[in-house]
Chains A and B, each alone.
Chain A
Amino acid sequence: MLNVEGLVKQYGDFVAVDNASFNADAGSVFGLLGPNGAGKSTAIKCISGLLVPTAGRITVSGHDIVKDGKAARQSLGVVPQELALYEDLPAVDNLRYWGKAYGLRGKALEDRVADVLGYIGLADRAKDLPKEFSGGMQRRLNFGCGIVHKPKLLLLDEPTVGIDPQSRAKLFDLVEAERDAGACVLYTTHYMEEAERLCDSLAILDHGKIIAKGTVAELKSQLGARDALQLSGSFPVDTTKAAIASLMSSITDLEILSQDEATLMLTLSQASHHLPSIFSALSGAGGSVSETSLRSPNLETLFLLLTGKELRE
């Protein structure tokens, strides 16, 4: 359904997306996971035809988004990160308008609008103005406007930013329903829980580059069973490094992810069992620990392992 090959988007010297390639199939959710500024939204804009790629090729249902943009975009539904609604038009008219923009007419349009209103839980508020809605309701209507024409490829750019947990859960249900109905969903987020819950496969972006991709299970397997251990306090750089190195003979998969005088990040399996020996070694090296954070293997720790920094930094 969606094929991205060697996508590059450059603004002067700044490379927003750097040689990204991935595929997404119909009936699946593909996630683009990465921190703010990683290049997710730029990639979405290139796929939706809003930006012309500097290099690379994007096809949607076999149509090149640049050379055959009209046909390619006919299959697209876009739910932008910011709300894109006519707040002074009733909800039902918003849906009608976007349905007509994609060529729906007459009874087909009215039936589909009624379905979507029920689907997004706004059937009883159809004639109300979106400016009177809560943030979550506006998000749902924003989603509805993106799917009213039954797109084959649905692009969701961080759709859950700034909404309450209840509306977020409702939105997840809507995304899954679209997938189950056969749509290909491209979902960008910087929340690893969302990616883990929704995505069948995903790519992790950092500084415009894909640093890992695969199914969630495949990506987790890259971590093995290693935990991420973050220590805060005071750590003299040279002596701490030597102390950790001395521990590596007894803890075989111990690895330093990042280190400075205030923070030390380690990865190792069964970290909780090794805490006493680590604390002892650090104390012997002249360091002191004021705070400890232990995380079991997940996408966030993978990101940490791959980039040495937090996903939400």
Chain B
Amino acid sequence: MLSFLLTSARKDLARWRQDKTALLIWLGIPFLIGGLITSMIDSGDGTPTGVLLIADQDDSLLSGFVVGAYSQDQLGELIVVEQVSVQEGELRINDGDASGFLTIPAGFQDAFLNETPVTLTLKTNPAQTILPGIIEDVTEILLDSGFYAQRLLGPEIQQIKNAASNELPDDVFVAGISVDIQNKISKVMPKLSPLLLDIVILEPPPTAPQPDMALLFLPGIILMAVLFASNSLAADYWEEREKGTLRRLASVPGVLSAFVAGKAVAALAVIGIIATITLAVGFAYHDVAWNKFVPSLLWVSCGGVGLFAWFAALQMLFPNNRAANLLTTILLFPLMMAGGSFFPLAALPEWIAGMGRLSPNGFIVDRLAGELSAASPWSIDAKSWLTQFAITLSGLALSTWRLRSGFARK
């Protein structure tokens, strides 16, 4: 029995090995879909960035402050500043190649210090809405701040300007001007921001760590490959029937069970290869702990054999090969939809996810997702393993019954 089982498995593997295209398709489609999903999710952190072109014709200390102000702190994450000539800036903003173009005219610093009017020109990109608005607001705030700074610290700024145009200022000058500025600010601070309210800083409520969205897709994508493979491999019963080998086998005493088991072993090997490749890529890409690899591989491979067994039993119930192929292929898509291959179960409303978990592939996807996100490996409980074995054995038993009940003899 065991010897023929292994012979039968080797026979099927030798035959299936010749169909390399099938393996590429089983792996290719999920990799393609997975790649697209991952690239969509991982393409940036969701924060748009804009380009602000600045033509600094003044090239002074103060104009340098203005240019630098756009790159400070969080603003720097939103706006990328590029210094350009006026001609280049005009050209690029007209081409829509930036969110805004700011021109700081020559004489800006002198005008600022002498309190004479000066015009800064800001052109924004009408094709964009949010970023040009932010740039406009920031520019207005900068100008307002500049006005107040000039009112408050005009003499000190003048001194700094004068000092910057000569030799490097000595430590005494720097210390003196710093003290003067600090004193002035200390005096006006109570008027500028009277503490009318006590501010209590609250810790934000603890939130659950946000799951990696691309990782949520991984179990469903792996099962997509397994579903394609198990359905295609199950069609081999029909192929053997059409070759006449099943009928010949039916006249051999006591081998049908070993034959079915042999096919399951061969399917386990093929699905194991697919699971190994898809899991390895997924683990490496998402940086999943490798000590979860073996339980994940076993879970997916055994689950795949269960799917194979049920697809086979189902296909053998149909009156002809074409109907069997067509209907089980049609069945694949709702199964993938319900079982979390297109949308992660965790991202679905609970009542839909609950139904999805009841589908055979959804059951496998759900436990695999749990294993991948668990703190430690081997998190799939014994009840789930037993359920999966029961599903697999019942599928194999049904396949054997169908072979004996006439499928093999026709």
Q: Which residues of A contact B (CB under 8 A)?
A: 45, 48-51, 69-71, 73-74, 76, 78, 80, 82-89, 93, 96-98, 100-102, 105, 145-146
**Cross-interface CB contact of B254 among A70, A83, A84, A86, cutoff 8 Å:** A70
Contact B14 A84 (CB under 8 A): no
- Indicate if B357 sits at the interface (CB-CB under 8 A): no
Contact B243 A101 (CB under 8 A): no
**Cross-interface CB contact of B252 among A45, A71, A102, cutoff 8 Å:** A102
Contact B248 A73 (CB under 8 A): no
Contact B248 A93 (CB under 8 A): no
With a cutoff of 8 Å between Cβ atoms, the chain B residues found around residue A96 in the complex are: 7
CA separation between A252 and B162, bound complex, in Å?
Answer: 151
With a cutoff of 8 Å between Cβ atoms, the chain B residues found around residue A105 in the complex are: 3
With a cutoff of 8 Å between Cβ atoms, the chain B residues found around residue A76 in the complex are: 251
CA separation between A70 and B250, bound complex, in Å?
Answer: 11
Known contacts A84-B244, A85-B245; 15 additional CB pairs below 8 A are A50-B247, A50-B251, A51-B409, A73-B251, A80-B244, A80-B248, A88-B18, A89-B15, A96-B7, A97-B7, A97-B8, A97-B11, A100-B7, A102-B252, A145-B248
Q: A49-B251, A50-B409, A101-B255 are in contact. Are A82 and B244 (CB under 8 A)?
A: yes
- Indicate if B253 sits at the interface (CB-CB under 8 A): yes
Contact A74 B11 (CB under 8 A): no
Contact B251 A85 (CB under 8 A): no
With a cutoff of 8 Å between Cβ atoms, the chain B residues found around residue A145 in the complex are: 248
With a cutoff of 8 Å between Cβ atoms, the chain B residues found around residue A101 in the complex are: 4, 7, 249, 252, 255
Q: Which residues of B contact A (CB under 8 A)?
A: 3-4, 7-8, 11, 14-15, 18, 243-245, 247-255, 409
CA separation between A102 and B251, bound complex, in Å?
Answer: 10
CA separation between A41 and B184, bound complex, in Å?
Answer: 113
**Cross-interface CB contact of B3 among A50, A69, A100, cutoff 8 Å:** A100
Q: A69-B253, A101-B252 are in contact. Are A84 and B7 (CB under 8 A)?
A: no
With a cutoff of 8 Å between Cβ atoms, the chain B residues found around residue A86 in the complex are: 11, 15, 243, 245
CA separation between A78 and B251, bound complex, in Å?
Answer: 8
CA separation between A246 and B244, bound complex, in Å?
Answer: 57
With a cutoff of 8 Å between Cβ atoms, the chain A residues found around residue B243 in the complex are: 83-87
CA separation between A145 and B252, bound complex, in Å?
Answer: 12
Expressed in whole angstroms, the minimum distance between the Cβ of B126 and any Cβ of chain A is 65
With a cutoff of 8 Å between Cβ atoms, the chain A residues found around residue B18 in the complex are: 88
CA separation between A227 and B15, bound complex, in Å?
Answer: 55
Contact A83 B11 (CB under 8 A): no
Expressed in whole angstroms, the minimum distance between the Cβ of B202 and any Cβ of chain A is 71
Contact A73 B7 (CB under 8 A): no
Q: Which residue of B lies closest to A83 (CB)?
A: B244
Expressed in whole angstroms, the minimum distance between the Cβ of A32 and any Cβ of chain B is 17
With a cutoff of 8 Å between Cβ atoms, the chain A residues found around residue B255 in the complex are: 101
With a cutoff of 8 Å between Cβ atoms, the chain B residues found around residue A80 in the complex are: 244, 247-248
In the assembled complex, 7 residue pairs joining A and B whose CB atoms fall closer than 8 Å, in A order, are A49-B250, A80-B244, A84-B243, A84-B244, A89-B11, A93-B11, A102-B252
CA separation between A85 and B409, bound complex, in Å?
Answer: 16
Expressed in whole angstroms, the minimum distance between the Cβ of B387 and any Cβ of chain A is 34
With a cutoff of 8 Å between Cβ atoms, the chain B residues found around residue A146 in the complex are: 248
CA separation between A93 and B12, bound complex, in Å?
Answer: 12
